[in-house]
Amino acid sequence: MSDATYQIVGECAYVSTDTPSGRTRVLLYKGALVPGNAPELKHLLDTGLVVKVGGDETGGVNADGLTTIEADDLDDDVPRRDSDGVLTSTYSSGEQPTGDQSDADSADSKRAAAQAKLPKDGSMPHPNAGQPVWVEWHVKQGGDYDDLAKQDKADLVKLAQQRQQ
């Protein structure tokens, strides 16, 4: 496709690449870089498993959710890495969030990630989709999040199949 750098944001993807043994397909995991000449790149971009690093698609965030914007351009309340590479957060008020606040932020971000993986047409998720994606699909169908989140994936898939009949 191009000389741009692409990165896997899904859990993993098979990518054709040159190895000492010749061209072969390898399984790359979240965060791995994908060569711009990989024949699967268009498909991986279309399915959302790969994004251009630092491009508009990622909003300047890499696959780990860390900003790729220069530190001088950041607001004081944007998460960033310290000199040792450890992810830190600076809060304008000088206070760290409470445990409850951090947990709520984490839960909200996990729900948003699951919602982003839902099919755009409202159809059932792919059978390989994770339990959080199935929960969010059922919530969109009118279910109660707290009740659905307690169920395992197999039960959620069966319930979805029953709804479709």
Instruction: Determine how β-strand 22-29 pairs with β-strand 12-19.
Output: antiparallel
Mean pLDDT of 56-64: 51
User: By CB neighbour count within 10 A (0-12 exposed, 13-18 middle, 19+ buried), where does 99 fall?
Assistant: exposed
- Distance from C-alpha of 160 to C-alpha of 165, rounded to nearest angstrom: 9
**Is residue 155's pLDDT more than 80?**
yes
- Asked whether the beta carbons of 91 and 100 are under 8 A apart, the reply is no
pLDDT tens-place string over residues 68-106: 444 444 444 444 445 455 545 444 444 455 555 566 667
| Domain segments of the chain as ranges | 5-53, 104-164
- Asked whether the beta carbons of 135 and 149 are under 8 A apart, the reply is yes
**Is residue 13's pLDDT more than 80?**
yes
Q: Which of 4-8, 45-49, 73-77, 119-123 has the lowest mean pLDDT?
A: 73-77
Chain centre to alpha carbon of residue 78: 19
Q: Which amino acid type is present at position 151?
A: Q
> 56 pLDDT band (50/70/90 cuts)?
low
**Is residue 53's pLDDT more than 50?**
yes
Q: Which of 36-40, 61-65, 105-109, 159-163 has the lowest mean pLDDT?
A: 61-65
- Distance from C-alpha of 25 to C-alpha of 16, rounded to nearest angstrom: 4
